[in-house]
Chain A
Amino acid sequence: MTASALRKPAPKPPLLEVSGLSKSYGTQVGCRDISFAVRPGEVLGIVGESGSGKSTLLACLSGRLQPDSGSISYDMKDRGPVDILTLSEHERRRLARTDWGIVHQNPRDGLRLDVSAGGNIGERPMALGARHYGDIRSDAQDWLKKVEIDLSRTDDKPRTFSGGMQQRLQIARNLVTRPRLVFMDEPTGGLDVSVQARLLDLLRGLVRELGVAAIIVTHDLAVVRLLADRLMVMQRGRVIEEGLTDQVLDDPHHPYTQLLVSSVLQV
């Protein structure tokens, strides 16, 4: 075993590759010079306190905000790697609706509150051309089961659901078309701790079962410990430390990461 025998297995080509991404609001820095790649099936966690730029970064990645500079290359199913910033608004929306999922912190931002639960799940398949009512409904019910919502609620509107149920419905609505990449912004924020644990376990199972790649922005280190393979720590718009999740959390090197990890209350 000598160093000369070192050979690396070929990496899977990245699904998403970001380089030199920056966005500021006037003189206020949102995020600065961010570069990273996400491979198929990989779960990346982004942590940092409020104002660290993580939500700005997520908004740029998912096409909701135009960055000032940098590139975001996505490996599209039929076209290969494309800089999504050069796509037309129409193309980008189509990509977001078919190959991506976006789970918002507040489920009301990601659901249609005046459409039934079944209808919320059926919307994406229908946008992709599904027309058979029976199929769409049974598909929707499969997903309601997966996210542990009682089938008797299929025709109820989500405004009558609890926060945890709404969040689970939002996840079903996003995953029904089997996207390859899901963006999640504080998916467990605003939920009771017991509801959080259930949602986390559900997300963990789904991410593994479907093999989707995910980018999860959160300030909750327990969430990334459970879900993410890899972690980026942000402070004042920059990535200050990154690596395997357990490495960064168990052996943090940067002063800010050490502070973040040591500030977590032990239960």
Chain B
Amino acid sequence: MTIRLHAKGLTKTFTLHTQGGIVLPVFDDVELTVKAGECVCLHGPSGAGKSTLLRSLYANYKPDAGQILVKHLGQTVDLLAAEPWEVVEIRRSTIGYVSQFLRVIPRVGALDVVAEPAIANGMPVDEAKARARTLLTRLRIPERLWSLAPATFSGGEQQRVNIARGFIVDYPILLLDEPTASLDAANRATVVDLIDEAKIRGTAVVGIFHDKEVRNAVADRLFEVGKAAVPSSSGKSDLQMSAGAMVE
């Protein structure tokens, strides 16, 4: 199967200049390959660096070293070496990202918030809004809320708007940061369906799923994310390398 995303040699440390210049190593020499139609779950204890790795894959965080190779419009591009305008284009059409929290935009209604990424990616406005309506319906956002700005919505409702926004474009690569964290069982099941449908379309999914049921339902394998503090003699921390581990 086609490899959609290949990260190699990824190393990330944070230097906190405002706190006495403390250096926090997060991960070192990480290699991760994700194929089309595959869902990889980033796994490890809280603070292990799962979110940092996921954000790095979106070029939201800047790793100190390594490459993130993605197929973008038929070409292989290194996300970390790409110019800012290129990253903007890659995010528009190739890599989607669902964060834990919706960054609300003042005065923009939920339906428009959801439709926006599709319109930016060239979908006709009517079609984008029709898709947004379908997604909001599936995620049980009552129609009377669609025209309202999500700032006043509950946490779970905001999260579902966020998920709809992430699934409106058929991205070849989709990154999910705890998409079901504040959802009830029915909505969790809908998110599992959405992920399954994306996988069938050939989307490569990388996610953090704390909920065991969701993880078992969608993940094809676990990718252990561990501490970078103890590199082995080969210079590689084998804690991170657990490529073939299967879901229990």
Binds A, one of B39-47, B58-66, B182-190, B229-237: B58-66
Most chain B CB inside 10 Å of its own CB: which residue of A1, A39, A208: A1
B1-15, CB under 8 A of A: which get 1 and which 0? 001001000000011
- A250-B55 in contact (CB<8A): yes
Which chain A residues lie closer than 8 Å to B14 at the CB level? Answer: 251
Interface positions, chain A 195-211, Cβ under 8 Å from B, are 197-198, 200-201, 204, 208
With both chains docked as a complex, state the minimum distance between the C-beta of A257 and any C-beta of chain B, in angstroms: 9
**Contacts A201-B105, A204-B105: A255 and B18 contacting too (C-beta < 8 A)?**
yes
Expressed in whole angstroms, the minimum distance between the Cβ of B79 and any Cβ of chain A is 11
Stretch at the interface among A2-10, A24-32, A165-173, A176-184: A2-10
Q: Which residues of B contact A54 (CB under 8 A)?
A: none
Residue B132 lies at the interface, judged by CB distance under 8 Å to chain A = no
Among listed A81-89, A135-143, A241-249, interface-contacting one: A241-249
Contact A201 B61 (CB under 8 A): no
Residues 4-49 of A contacting B (Cβ, < 8 Å): 5-9, 11-12, 39, 42
Stretch of B81-89, B204-212, B220-228 lying at the A interface: B81-89
B60, A250: Cβ atoms closer than 8 Å: yes
Query: Given contacts A244-B88, A253-B62, A262-B18, is CB(A197)–CB(B3) below 8 Å?
Result: no
- A198–B107 Cα distance when bound, in Å, is 7
The stretch among B70-78, B159-167, B171-179, B193-201 that forms the contact with chain A is B70-78
**Contacting residues, chain A, for B15 (C-beta < 8 A):** 253
A229 CB–B CB distance under 8 Å: yes
- CB of A244 within 8 A of CB of B84, answer yes
Contact of B88 among A2, A7, A226, A229 (CB under 8 A): A229
Known: A6-B78, A247-B61. A42 touches B108 (CB 8 A): no
B106 on the A face (CB < 8 A): yes
For B89, list chain A residues within 8 Å (CB). Answer: 9
Minimum CB–CB distance from A14 to chain B (whole Å) comes to: 10
* Contact pick for A42, options B78, B85, B107, B120, CB 8 Å: B85
Are B85 and A12 in contact (CB-based, < 8 A)? yes
In the complex, what distance in Å separates the CA atom of A259 from the CA atom of B85?
A: 26
> With a CB–CB cut-off of 8 A, which chain A residues contact B81?
6
A258 within 8 A of B: yes
The answer to whether B88 and A3 touch across the interface, beta carbons within 8 angstroms, is no
Name the CB-closest residue of B to A226.
B105
Q: CB-CB < 8 A to A1: which residues of B?
A: 3, 6, 69, 71, 76
- Chain A positions within 8 Å of B108 at CB level: 201
Q: What 0/1 pattern do residues 62 to 88 of A give for CB contact below 8 A with B?
A: 000000000000000000000000000
- Shortest CB–CB separation between residue A27 and chain B, in angstroms? 29
Does A238 have its Cβ within 8 Å of any Cβ on chain B?
no
- Determine which residue in B61, B62, B77 has the highest number of CB atoms from chain A within 10 A of its CB, and name it: B62
Would A247 and B60 count as touching, CB distance under 8 A?
Answer: yes
A243-B75 Cα distance, complex, nearest whole Å: 23
Interface centre among A7, A230, A247, by most chain B C-beta atoms within 10 angstroms, is A247
Instruction: Assess whether B17 is in contact with A259, with CB atoms less than 8 Å apart.
Output: yes
Interface pair B86/A8, CB less than 8 Å apart: yes
Would you list which residues of chain B between 9 and 50 have a CB under 8 Å from chain A?
14-18
Whether A259 and B77, one on each chain, are in contact in the complex, defined by CB atoms closer than 8 angstroms, is: no
Counting CB contacts under 8 A, is B240 at the interface? no
A2 to B8, CA, bound (A): 11
Is B76 within 8 A of A8, CB to CB?
A: no
User: Is B67 an interface residue when CB atoms closer than 8 A count as contact?
Assistant: yes
| B3 nearest in chain A by CB position | A1
Supposing A201-B107, A250-B60 touch, asked if A9 and B87 sit within 8 A by C-beta, the answer is no
A198 near B84: Cβ-Cβ < 8 Å? no
Question: A251 vs B17: C-alpha distance in the bound complex, in angstroms?
Answer: 12
Judging by beta carbons under 8 Å apart, are B59 and A247 in contact?
A: yes
Contact B83 A11 (CB under 8 A): yes
Contact A247 B76 (CB under 8 A): no
Which of B's residues lie within 8 Å of A, judged by CB? 3, 6, 14-18, 55, 59-62, 67, 69, 71-73, 75-78, 81-89, 103, 105-108, 120
Q: List 10 A-B contacts (CB under 8 A).
A: A5-B76, A6-B77, A9-B73, A197-B107, A201-B106, A208-B120, A247-B59, A247-B62, A253-B62, A255-B17
The 8 tightest CB contacts between A and B, nearest first, are: A255-B17, A197-B106, A251-B61, A201-B107, A5-B76, A230-B84, A244-B84, A1-B69
Beyond the given pairs A226-B105, A243-B84, 13 more chain A to chain B contacts, judged by CB atoms under 8 angstroms and listed by A's residue number, are: A1-B71, A3-B67, A7-B75, A12-B85, A39-B85, A197-B107, A198-B107, A200-B106, A201-B105, A208-B120, A244-B87, A247-B60, A247-B61
Interface residues of A (CB under 8 A from B): 1-3, 5-9, 11-12, 39, 42, 197-198, 200-201, 204, 208, 225-226, 229-230, 243-244, 246-247, 250-251, 253-255, 258-259, 262
